Structure 1
Amino acid sequence: MSFSFFKPSRPKTPVEVAKAIKDSLTALDTKTVVEVKALEKALEEVEKNFATMRCMLSGDGENEPNADQVTQLAQEICKEDVISLLVHKLPILGWETRKDLVHCWSILLKQKVGSAYCCLQYIENHLELLDFLVVCYDSKEIALNCGNMLRDCIKFPSLAKYILESASFELFFKFVELPTFDVASDAFSTFKDLLTKHDTMVSEYLTAHYDEFFNLYENLLTSANYVTRRQSLKLLSDFLLEPPNSHIMKRYILEVRYLKVMMTLLKDSSKTIQMSAFHIFKVFVANPNKPREVKVILAKNHEKLLELLHNLSPGKGAEDEQFEEEKELIIKEIERVSRLPILESQVISPSC
């Protein structure tokens, strides 16, 4: 009796993997209009190819990835326009396939050919892919996948700059308040990265788009949603008090409308929000060049403000002493302003 054994199949080369992925993704165009079983089979083929790509990019658990193969696969994926297919086919991929895609996306973006990031360059030449990923937040099935892919992109200044300056950026002010908590939280994480990862670039953006940005941001600070108010107020502190944004902060603290927002937040039922509001409110008060309108508001509301501040406490903690010192200085400054002979010719409605 003789036995025959199948030889193990030869591992695919990076060129073959890239082509297989492209072919299987392209096949979805024709399969979607045919019977369900054909589509399922096509999606299985895509899933199998994505698993092969993941193994080549990150190893199989026993063997480390081959660096040359990883680089070559990244090159082939760009050369064959697979990057575009990966993004545009995302909505119809299965859960496991999307998971593999997110994992591979992060690795692909880091691959250098010589001194250049090949996948980064591809996206820079196809910036509409970023718009597509942003809009995908509207689809809760793939929103978290897109969020991970966007945050990987935002690590690169050129891609973050494009999103900031695109019409898509304004959508984040809607997405952070979506009714699905996980999606809204993920959108806020991406929104935060856009505003904190690249200080100089963000400073330039805020300088050029000051009015439109802070008009929209005010809606977040005054949202009926507690989480939105808390997160947006904390984020405002994170980027407004950064040294590169000092000129933005100086402009912000001259505006009565934003002082009124902080005064309202000082009255919030949440102690966390009260404390975060205090750290921005104190800058309005401590400003040695307060405009007359700001002084009028502080003077007209000094009694309520002093009451709020006297009752404000961060609770037990290491920062108590510093906070109490700052609070005392702010209280003294409000008391000083309240004694100034401020003209009454222009009455400004207080917000407290």
Structure 2
Amino acid sequence: MSFSFFKPSRPKTPQELVKAIKDCLTALDAKTVAEVQALKKALEEVEKNFATMRVILCGDGEVEPNMDQVSQLTLEICKEDVLALFIHKLPILGWEARKDLVHCWSILLKQKGDSTYCCVQYLENHLELLDFLVVSYDNKEIALNCGNILRECIKLPTLAKYILESPSFMLFFKYVELPNFDVACDAFLTFKDLLTKHEAAVSEFLTAHYDEFFEQYEKLLTSSNYVTRRQSLKLLSEFLLESPNSHIMKRYIVEVRFMKVMMTLLKDSSKNIQISAFHIFKVFVANPNKPREIKVILAKNHERLLGLLHSLSPGKGADDDQFEEEKELIIKEIERLSRLPNLA
């Protein structure tokens, strides 16, 4: 008697798995979506195949992944245009399938082809997929998944540079203030990575788009939303004070309107915002090449500014001595300007 029908089915090869994934993702078309039962079956197939993909790429907790299989799977995914399907079908996928895809994405991006990262090369040839991921912040169902995928992409300089220079980048100024708190916070994480991960690309971008960028950024600093003000101010310090952006900082600290923003933030009801504002305001004041207009404003407002500065103290865990030393230097400079007769 034969019991062969009890044998477990043979595991799919990477080629077979990719074909199965492509077929079930392609099946998620308008016709399938319109038919509830067909959609349910197609989504179940996607989930099953994604779970298998995750095991091949990550192992199963007991057995480590076979790197030959991982390489073959990655190659097939790129060759069969499945990477594009992953992104375009995200809005239709179920929760579990999205979770598996996000988990697999970072591993796929790290796999090398013959001369470069295979999936990275694919994305470099299909850059519109990055724009799709960015605009997906408008869809709260997949926004967090797309954010995770985007931040993995942003680790690669070529992909980060593309997003910075794409018109879709400016959408982040809207996304960081979306009413959904989780989505807004996730968008800010991605926005921060774009402005801090690759100094040379950021410097080049800020140089080329200085006016447009800082005009939008000023709106974040003056937002009615406390979280937006605080996060934006902290991020501004991070990328503005980086040495590759020194030419940007020199341009920024001679602009009266930006100093006025910092002066307003020094009066904020939040101690954290006051301290962060001080660390940027001090650069305006300490600048040895201050334009006359800035000197006049500092002189005319010296009483109010000195009152704010004298009452300012660092938060817990801060370097009190350094802060007090810097504050004293700024106070002395404002006092000096207030005594100059030609600034009255």
Indicate whether the TM-score tops 0.5.
yes
Deviation string 1:108-165 (CA, Å, 9 cap, x unpaired) is 0110013310100101000000000000000111000000000000000110011000
Matches within 5 A, 1:89-238: 89-238=89-238
Per the alignment, residue 298 of structure 1 pairs with 298
Per the alignment, residue 257 of structure 2 pairs with 257
TM-score, structure 2 length as denominator? Answer: 0.98
User: What code does the residue aligned with 1:274 have?
Assistant: Q
Matches within 5 A, 1:1-80: 6-29=6-29, 31-80=31-80
CA distance in 2, matches of 1:331, 1:211: 31
CA distance in 1, matches of 2:117, 2:70: 13
CA distance in 2, matches of 1:179, 1:60: 39
Matches within 5 A, 1:297-316: 297-316=297-316
Aligned 8 A contact 2:14 2:72 in 1? yes
Q: Secondary structure at the match of 1:50?
A: helix
Q: 1:299 deviation in Å?
A: 0.6
Comparing 163-172 with 112-121, greater Cα deviation is found at 112-121
User: What code does the residue aligned with 1:328 have?
Assistant: E
Per the alignment, residue 317 of structure 1 pairs with 317
Q: CA RMSD in A?
A: 1.3
User: What code does the residue aligned with 1:245 have?
Assistant: N
Q: Secondary structure at the match of 1:191?
A: helix
Per the alignment, residue 347 of structure 1 pairs with none
Deviation string 1:306-332 (CA, Å, 9 cap, x unpaired) is 000000001443500110000000000
CA distance in 2, matches of 1:48, 1:186: 28
Per the alignment, residue 340 of structure 2 pairs with 340
TM-score, structure 1 length as denominator? Answer: 0.95
User: What code does the residue aligned with 1:286 have?
Assistant: A
Q: 1:62 deviation in Å?
A: 1.2
Equivalent residues, number: 344
1:284 counterpart = 2:284:
yes
The unaligned stretches of length 5 or more in structure 2 are none
Q: Structure 1 residues 3 and 70 mapped into 2: Cα distance closer, same or farther (>3 Å)?
A: closer
User: What code does the residue aligned with 1:147 have?
Assistant: G
Q: 1:33 deviation in Å?
A: 4.7
CA distance in 1, matches of 2:31, 2:54: 24
CA distance in 2, matches of 1:108, 1:317: 41
Q: Structure 1 residues 57 and 317 mapped into 2: Cα distance closer, same or farther (>3 Å)?
A: closer
User: What code does the residue aligned with 2:106 have?
Assistant: S
Q: 1:263 deviation in Å?
A: 0.1
Aligned 8 A contact 1:31 1:42 in 2? no
Identity value in percent:
82
Q: Structure 1 residues 2 and 211 mapped into 2: Cα distance closer, same or farther (>3 Å)?
A: closer
Q: 1:32 deviation in Å?
A: 2.7
Per the alignment, residue 349 of structure 1 pairs with none
Aligned 8 A contact 2:272 2:315 in 1? no
User: What code does the residue aligned with 1:9 have?
Assistant: S
Deviation string 1:30-65 (CA, Å, 9 cap, x unpaired) is 543542111111110111111111111001111110
Q: Secondary structure at the match of 1:179?
A: coil
Q: 1:339 deviation in Å?
A: 1.0
Q: 1:334 deviation in Å?
A: 0.2
